[in-house]
Structure formats: structure tokens, C-alpha cells
Amino acid sequence: KNVPKLFEPITIRGVSWPNRMWVAPMCMYSSDYGKATDFHFVHHGSMALRGWGNLMFEATAVVPEGRISPEDMGIWSDEHIAPLKRVVDFVHANGAKIGIQLAHAGRKASTLSPWVQRKGQQAGWTGGEVATDEANGWASDVKGASAISFDPATNPHPTEASLEYIEHIKEAYKAATKRAKAAGFDYVEIHGAHGYFLHNFYSPLSNQRTDQYGGSFENRTRLGLEITKIIRDNWDGPLLYRVSASDWLEAVEGPEKDANGEWRWWGLEQTTMYAKLLRDAGVDLLDVSSGGNDPRGQYKVGPGYQIHFAEHLKKNVPGLLIGAVGLITTPQKAEEILDKDQADVVLFGREVLRHIDFPLRAAEHLGVAANPAGQYERAWSRMLSSI
Ligand code: FNR
């Protein structure tokens, strides 16, 4: 066997990644009213220096009320561009690619970030998870597909997004895409997963609208497809979409589709139909996650618990690249996923935070020369040439 698949480059729309070890988007709750800070510079910079082929800015809100917590990233004004560009330029100088996940938190907006909850120091903090208006939040201005709370104990009660609001959000995605281009990002990922705005629309559990955005599969997926097309029209580069392949409600509600052919919840059958439409609308790679839209979801969490979703989509949606994510923590497992053709790239979340030098160690495990990239490589070759 020659080069392990994890170390094979991949090219999408003219952008070439050095390998298939990709960092998953992760909220860091460290922004200054949506702006990237020194934290993000060091966070992404460190990963670029250690051989990760692909980095991704966490869920970045296209409007202020689209943040999950007050400390989340945003890209709703031109002032957000320069701090992002500073990170992007450094990452590029060190051999990695970097994208941004454009997001709107929908009915799960305005919650306290984990470290604020623990400290409980924010004015107005009551011990729950809602970021009240007094605690820098906007709990009274949270929008979902319908006025149905994710969980009244932990989340604000949303109002139904009006048609005017939906138009406003489409414009916000368009403006955000132009800003992402100005910041120099290599690709854009649409956050369509985990119970946030777009997932609120496509899942029948959170969407009881009676207009053109609710009811049928076609209506529920309309907004996600419209936003995809708007971005595609304003962005020449690679376009990714993160989807939740299932609400995991089989054990609670029975099959995804009832005996009359009505969809009860969102599952793999609809995801497969949606994936084909997303591909036709210009999505290059589907980043396959799951869950997050209903607290009753029954997860079988364990190593690689979402891989079967990725594998199904890889087999059934030709022409669409697939990313696998979810408790993938060893180079051997990641290599196996690529080898079995279950996915085209592997994304790592928590493992990156635990072992930031994973790519260098993966190279050792899989028998590849573990040369670091960028500035480290220049220092490295200097040393080799001087001995
Ligand atoms: C996440 N995850 C996540 N997903 C996403 O699409 N956008 C995001 O901003 C975040 N934020 C986030 C923060 C933190 C601290 C964690 C741990 C996770 C989910 C993440 O991308 C990934 O899908 C899961 O963590 C599963 O992969 P791992 O961690 O098991 O490799």
C-alpha cells in the first residue's frame, strides 16, 4: 500500500487540501460581539502548524440574533472581516486551508455559553440555560420555523419567522458570503444541522407552518435550498453543507414515515432526497452529522456512531462528496473509513482539542514521513541541511 488515504490530497473547485484530516467546526465562546479575537488566532494557528489539512471557523452567525450564545462568532457587519482575515492569512502561510461555517441558531439561540453557566456570574443569571435579555441575551427575540420551543426548561420560546424575516435572512447569508470572500476563506459551509434555523425548517417536528415553507418535504426544504442557491450565485469556491441525517426518533415516534405516507420526523430517507437536491443546487460536499433538533432523540453514541449515515449517502448520492464525523479518534479508524469508501474526508472535533498533534502522530502510525508544514517545515529543513 502506498500513501495512506488520510494523507491523499483532495481538490474541489480548484482548491487543494493537503490531506483528509479535517477539523470540525467547534464553538469556542470567545468572540467579542461576533468578532474573532487573539484566542481564535492562536487556536486555528496552532492547528495549522501541526498538520491539520483543513480548519473551519465555528458556527458564525449571519445576524446577531442568530448566535447560539452572546460569545459566539458573527459575520453580520464589515467590521468582522479584518479579524477573520488575520487568522486566514496566518493559516494560509502555514500550509492549511480554512473555511467558515455560516449559521443561524434559530430556536436554539440566546443560551448561555457553558463557561458562563458554570460561573453563574452574568447579571440576571438564574441558573437555567437561557441567556435572558438582562444577561446579554435576546430571549424575547428568538425566531424558529414555528413557535415551538426546543425545550421550555432550557431554551427561550421562539416566535414564528415571518416571510419578511425569511427574506431578511436570505439577504444576510448573501452579505455574509461576500464578507467570507473578502476575508480570504477557501470555502463556505452552510450550517444546516443540530436543530438550528435550517434544521427547524426541514424537520416536521419543529415546522408546523402552513405557508410555502411548511408541510410537504418540498416546502420544508425550500429555505435551505434557496440559501444554498444564493450562496452558490455569490461564491465560486467549494461549498459544503452540514446536515443532521436523523432526528433519531424511531424509538419514540416509530418509523420516519407513517402508514399514510406522512413524514413524522426527519430521517435518512428524507436526508437522501435532500442531499440530491443540495448537490444539484451546487453543494460539493455534505458534512454528515445528526441529531440536535429534539431532546427526546435516542442516540446510540459510540465510536463512529454516525458513519452509517455517511456511508449510505456516499453510496446513494453519486457526484456528492461526503464527510464523516463523530467520535472518530484513531488514525486507523479514520483510514478504514476512507478505505471502505464510507466517506471522502474525515472530520475530527474533540480529538483535536485533546491531541492537537494528531496528524503528526497519525503520520507515524501509518508510516508516512511526518514533516510539519509551513514555518515549522522551513525551520526543519534548515536543521537538516546544517547537519
Ligand atoms: C461542536 N460541534 C459543532 N458543530 C457544528 O456544526 N458547529 C459548531 O459550531 C459546533 N460547535 C461545537 C463545539 C464543541 C466544543 C464541540 C465539542 C462540538 C459538533 C462537532 O463539530 C462534531 O460534529 C461533534 O463534536 C462530533 O465529533 P467528535 O467531537 O466526536 O469528533
3-state secondary structure of 64: helix
State whether ipTM is beyond 0.95: yes
3-state percent breakdown (helix, strand, coil) of the chain, nearest 5:
40, 15, 45
Pairing outcome for strands 345-348 and 21-23: parallel
Task: Return the number of other C-beta atoms located less than 10 Å from residue 197's C-beta.
Answer: 30
For the CA of 289, the nearest atom of ligand 1: 23
Distance CA 133, CA 217 (A): 35
The C-alpha cell that represents 232 in the structure block:
452558490
Q: Supply the pLDDT for residue 58.
A: 98
pLDDT tens-digit readout, 138-164: 999 999 999 999 998 889 999 999 999
3-state secondary structure of 364: helix
Residues 206/114, Cβ–Cβ less than 8 Å:
no
Nearest CA to ligand 1 atom 26: 326
Residue type, 220: R
Beta bridge partners of 99: 56, 187
Q: Supply the pLDDT for residue 124.
A: 54
Distance CA 146, CA 207 (A): 5
For 6, 123, 252, 325, 357, the CA distances from 22, given in Å and listed in that order, are 10, 38, 34, 10, 13
Q: Select from 366, 367, 365, 320 the least CA-distant residue to 343.
A: 320
Nearest CA to ligand 1 atom 5: 25
Nearest CA to ligand 1 atom 1: 26
Residues 335/357, Cβ–Cβ less than 8 Å:
no
Averaged pLDDT for residues 167-175:
98
- Here the contacts of 257-264 (C-beta below 8 Å, separation 24 or greater) are 263/204, 263/217, 264/204, 264/205
Select from 26, 28, 54, 100 the residue to mutate for testing ligand 1; criterion: most ligand atoms less than 8 Å from CB: 26
Q: What are phi and psi of 324, to 5 degrees?
A: -110, 140
Q: How far is the CA of 5 from the centre of ligand 1 (A)?
A: 23
Averaged pLDDT for residues 38-59:
96
pLDDT tens-digit readout, 1-33: 578 999 999 999 999 999 999 999 999 999 999
Name the residue with cell 436543530. Answer: 195
CA 191 to chain centre: 5
Q: How far is the CA of 279 from the centre of ligand 1 (A)?
A: 23
Task: Give pTM, 2 decimals.
Answer: 0.96
Residues 350/356, Cβ–Cβ less than 8 Å:
no
pLDDT tens-digit readout, 86-98: 999 999 999 899 9
pLDDT tens-digit readout, 209-266: 999 999 999 999 999 999 999 999 999 999 999 999 999 999 999 999 999 999 999 9
Distance CA 175, CA 122 (A): 32
Q: Supply the pLDDT for residue 127.
A: 47
Burial class (CB in 10 A: 0-12, 13-18, 19+), 11: exposed
Distance CA 210, CA 39 (A): 44
Task: Return the number of other C-beta atoms located less than 10 Å from residue 123's C-beta.
Answer: 8
- Ligand 1 binding site (Cβ under 6 Å of any ligand atom): 24-27, 58-59, 101, 191, 193-194, 242, 289, 325-328, 348-351
**Is it the case that residue 313 has pLDDT exceeding 60?**
yes
Q: What is the mean pLDDT of the chain?
A: 93
Q: How far is the CA of 4 from the centre of ligand 1 (A)?
A: 26
Q: Select from 171, 157, 141 the least CA-distant residue to 64.
A: 141
